[in-house]
Structure 1
Amino acid sequence: MKYNFDEQVPREGTNSLKYDARLNFFGKEDVLPLWVADMDFKTPDFIINAIKERLNHEILGYTFRPDSYYEAIIHWMKERHGWTVEKEWISFSPGVVAGLTLAIETFSNPGDEVVVQPPVYFPFFDSVKSTGRQLLENPLTLVDGRYTFDLDDLERKITPKTKLLLLCNPQNPGGMVWTKGELTALASLCMKHKILIISDEIHSDLIFEGHKHIPLPTLSDEIAQNCVVCMAPSKTFNVAGLTTSFVIIPNKRHFARYERTLRIPHLHMGNIFGTVALEAAYKHGADWVDQLVVYLEENYRFLETWLKENLPQVVPMKPEATYLAWLDFSALVMADDELNSKLLEAGVGMNRGVQFGTGGAGYMRINLGCTRAMLQQALERMVVLKEEK
């Protein structure tokens, strides 16, 4: 089946965070929303149909996740990523950020240090600080237009209080697909210092041509015993509102500890439709994802070409994955507040780079999970920045 990603689906009036919260977030409603990371594409038919089928039974009482749910995850991991996962490794989370936060609470104590590698997905900072842990920043290094780890900096900063590292794999906002060599070096350093890695791999299905996602536990049995992986179908299939994620923990002792933390506030139950959607997605979604990734990569190429021809002062970092792009506005020599104001005046709403921490100044993150027509409209509005050079 050929899917149509050029169809613009009206989202106003649906309590959409991306659309209906524009006034609160940007101070005005008449902006093209290219910020929060959900896509404007229809949730695929095989997921909607599975939910409709479940609605034919008119009781929505307590349920549990059936074997077929776990089998769908196991099959997807094997087919898409070459990773053999055991059912006994799979736990639940109502969201990847929730899983990260639960893991922080499980595997560290207040006052402990948690490593983050900015610029990075900004909820990482909140998860660390809100749980009473201390941020230990290990900024990424920019080499030939691509971020990489600064392991020398990390080793210098590690103290006896450093207990966890939050890894973004693939990276958000830069879109890096970390290589085997990069991941192995990072994981080896963490094992040397007894630092557990919590790996956010939510964008792992959205990998561009020429790159391959490497789930952290596949590097070695030893590394698998020293990591917790958070994943979900939410970004891949545009079902974030169903708050259904999963956590894969090969280490039996770590798994038991996480499960206890999850169950204390009774967060382990999940919801009926999230379970149904995940199972349908991972059973039937391969073709849809393949077509989606092609469209997203074409959106990036359109963005890159348009900027080069019309606004060369703005330089995109070439993503290797995700539907996000990291735009460098530094050549315009504008303060971040001024840059944001100019874009909002032009009617374009993106995420400010400073949200992503150290190294984010002068950048903006744009969401490419939209129709080509909307992307073109946003870019044409940005021409006003030419006058600021």
Structure 2
Amino acid sequence: MIEPLRALPLDELRKRSSAKWRSYPDDVIPLFVAETDYPLAPAISAALHEAVSRGDTGYTPADPGAAVAYASFAARRLGWEPDPGRMRITGDVIMGVVEILRRIIEPGDRVVVTPPVYPPFFEAVPEAGGITQSVPLRDTGGGWELDLGAIDAAFREGARAILLCNPHNPTGTIHAPDALRALAELAERHGAVVVSDEIHAPLPRRDNVVTPFLSVSDAAARCGYAIVSASKAFNLAGLKCAIMVAASEGTHAVLRSLPEEVSWRTGLFGALATVAALSPESDAWLDAQALAIDANTELLRTLLEEHLPDAGYRPPDAGYLGWVDLSRYGWGDAPARRILREARVAVHSGPAFGDGGAGHIRLTLGCAPEVLTEAIERIAVLR
């Protein structure tokens, strides 16, 4: 029987040199960035130690095995069999987003984003020469969903692409297969393109199922691209490896046309770690981490009910991010500022996620239960 993964002790975590542990003084509980506090999967540690021991620190080859590893992972864990021959590697998901957009839009074209959404989306579009057009998610009262009518209108008025977040960051929403099929039909009807960020797909909560966008229909395969990475689920962001995935000859031709430098940006350690992460050897570790995060999603609900009963919170369908509405407490549009200043807890500021983010915070649930508990108790003192 798999036991939930245990986070490392705080004194050990504070020795890390990543952004999570170097952005604030030691009296601050850092829950602002999507880094987890667990030990690496043993297969990843072994692969990296072996590489260091043999001085394997050179250039990344064109085919480090990441595509085949992802295809195997997708078949085992997502019920999808993508063709590794239609993939290319790059440094990270946003690099992949920018490079694909540069090939499929003209300068000044509008690209739909669906806020509240991952803040770098708002920077990736202009970096690629486009203009962001916000089409917010619809709040159904029990969750969030794509506003397909408004997306249709945006395409009809000339938007050339949409950045899909699947599963969605920060809400943790898993988009339903029917919604994804409808999105693909809309995009194809209007000659638009879907670029799907699926970085959180390896971590569905409990019995939830993530549907890869490219798998839902022939239309999705023709009009879409996916960009995937092991970096969030396995805490490998600093090692730099992502995979751009196509599912048709036309979209694969676009990936083939990208400059060779796009793949050279991949870190060799990132590629080695990705192959180890996506191997069957790491499945049990991933399941153990999922159990720990499942427990924390429910713990956050309990803590908020006890200490911040007017907060709005829906446990995520996937990923390890908690999206919390604190607007009823009157702490302003950006409550993260007061929380950092007075409670000494660092959380991500809601307004950075665009429309729908005012009064909200995002916090990371990939931590020890006692850390999450202390963070909410500190915030509750501000009531």
The change in CA–CA distance for 1:258 and 1:71 in structure 2 (over 3 A counts) is: closer
Query: Would the alpha carbon gap of residues 266 and 318 (structure 1) be closer, same or farther in structure 2, given more than 3 Å must change?
Result: closer
Q: CA deviation at 1:38?
A: 1.1
Give me the identity figure in percent.
31
1:19 alignment partner, one of 10, 18, 21: 21
Question: Which residue of structure 2 aligns with residue 382 of structure 1?
Answer: 379
Distance 1:302 1:95 in 2: 31
Amino acid at match of 1:71: V
Distance in 2 between residues matched to 1:381 and 1:221, nearest whole Å: 50
**Closer, same or farther in 2 for the Cα pair 1:366/1:59, shift >3 Å?**
closer
Distance 1:338 1:74, change over 3 A: closer
Amino acid at match of 1:115: V
1:279 aligns to 2:280 (yes or no): no
In structure 2, distance between residues paired with 1:262 and 1:83? 28
2:343 paired residue number: 346
Query: In structure 1, how many angstroms separate the alpha carbons of the residues matched to 2:208 and 2:258?
Result: 35
Letter in 2 for 1:260: S
| Cα contact 1:13–1:20 (8 A) shared by 2 | no
Q: What SS does the corresponding residue of 1:79 show, helix, strand or coil?
A: helix
Q: What's 2:302 paired with?
A: 305
Counterpart contact for 2:201–2:210, Cα < 8 Å: yes
Contact kept in structure 1, 2:335 and 2:360, CA below 8 Å: no
Partner of residue 136 from structure 1, selected from 129, 133, 136: 133
Aligned to 1:105: 102
Instruction: Determine if contact 1:119/1:359 at 8 Å carries over to the other structure.
Output: yes
Moved more, 320-329 or 246-255: 246-255
In 2, the alpha carbon distance for the partners of 1:51 and 1:173 equals 30
Number of equivalenced pairs = 380
Q: Deviations over 1:214-270 (max 9, x none)?
A: 00111112221110000001111111111011011122232232333342x454362
Aligned to 1:8: 9
Q: Which amino acid aligns with 1:16?
A: S
- Give the alignment's Cα RMSD to 1 decimal: 1.9
Unaligned runs of 5+ in 1: 23-27
For the 8 Å contact 2:5–2:289, the answer to whether it is kept is: no
Match of 1:223 in 2: 220
**Residue of structure 1 in register with 2:31 after alignment:** 34
Question: 1:94 is aligned with what amino acid?
Answer: G
How big is each residue's C-alpha offset from its partner over 1:17-75, in whole Å with a ceiling of 9 and x where there is no partner? 111022xxxxx663211011111111112111111122232353334255744332211
Q: 2:112·2:134 contact (CA, 8 Å) conserved in 1?
A: yes
Q: Deviations over 1:126-180 (max 9, x none)?
A: 0012333111111111012311111222223334531110000001000111111
- Which stretch shifts more, 129-138 or 349-358? 129-138
Residue 114 in structure 1 maps to residue 115 in structure 2: no
1: CA distance between counterparts of 2:64 and 2:37?
32
The Cα shift of 1:207 comes to 0.2
Q: How far has the Cα of 1:384 moved from its partner?
A: 1.4
Q: Which residue of 2 aligns with 1:328?
A: 325
Please give the secondary structure, in 1, of the residue aligned with 2:160: strand
Instruction: Write the mapping of 1:189-228 to structure 2, written as runs, cut at 5 A.
Output: 189-228=186-225
Distance 1:338 1:70 in 2: 41
Preserved CA contact (<8 Å) 1:232 1:246: yes
Partner of 1:162, secondary structure, is coil
Q: Which piece of structure 1 moves more, 71-80 or 150-159?
A: 150-159
2:83 aligned with 1:81: no
Counterpart residue type for residue 270 of structure 1 = T
AA paired with 1:282?
L
Hey, what's the Cα distance between the residues in 1 that align with 2:4 and 2:313? Answer: 27
Tell me if structure 1 keeps the 8 A contact 2:64–2:271: no
What residue identity is the alignment partner of 1:50?
A: A
Matched letter for residue 273 of structure 1: F
Separation of aligned partners in 1, 2:364 and 2:355: 21
- Kindly report which structure 2 residues correspond to 1:36-75, keeping only aligned pairs within 5 A, or say none: 36-64=33-61, 66=63, 68-75=65-72
What CA deviation, in whole Å up to 9, does each residue of 1:86-127 have, x standing for no partner?
A: 121111110011111111111111100100011100100100
Match of 2:264 in 1: 268
Q: What per-residue deviation string (whole Å, max 9, x for no partner) do you get for residues 164-208 of structure 1?
A: 100000010001111111211222111111110000000001101
3-state SS, counterpart of residue 199 of structure 1: strand
Bigger Cα displacement from structure 2, 63-72 vs 375-384: 63-72
TM-score, length of structure 1 as denominator length: 0.92
The structure-2 alpha-carbon separation of the partners of 1:59 and 1:213, relative to structure 1 and needing over 3 Å to count, comes to closer
- Report the 3-state secondary structure (helix = DSSP H, G, I; strand = E; otherwise coil) of the residue aligned with 2:370: helix
Partner of 2:229: 232
Unaligned runs of 5+ in 2: none
* Distance change >3 Å, CA 43–CA 132, structure 1 → 2: same
Distance, in Å, in 2 between the alignment partners of 1:330 and 1:60 is 49
- Using a 3 Å threshold, how does the CA distance of structure 1 residues 65 and 275 change in structure 2: closer, same or farther? farther
Letter in 2 for 1:80: R
Structure 1 pair 80–262 and aligned structure 2 pair: CA distance change class (3 A):
farther
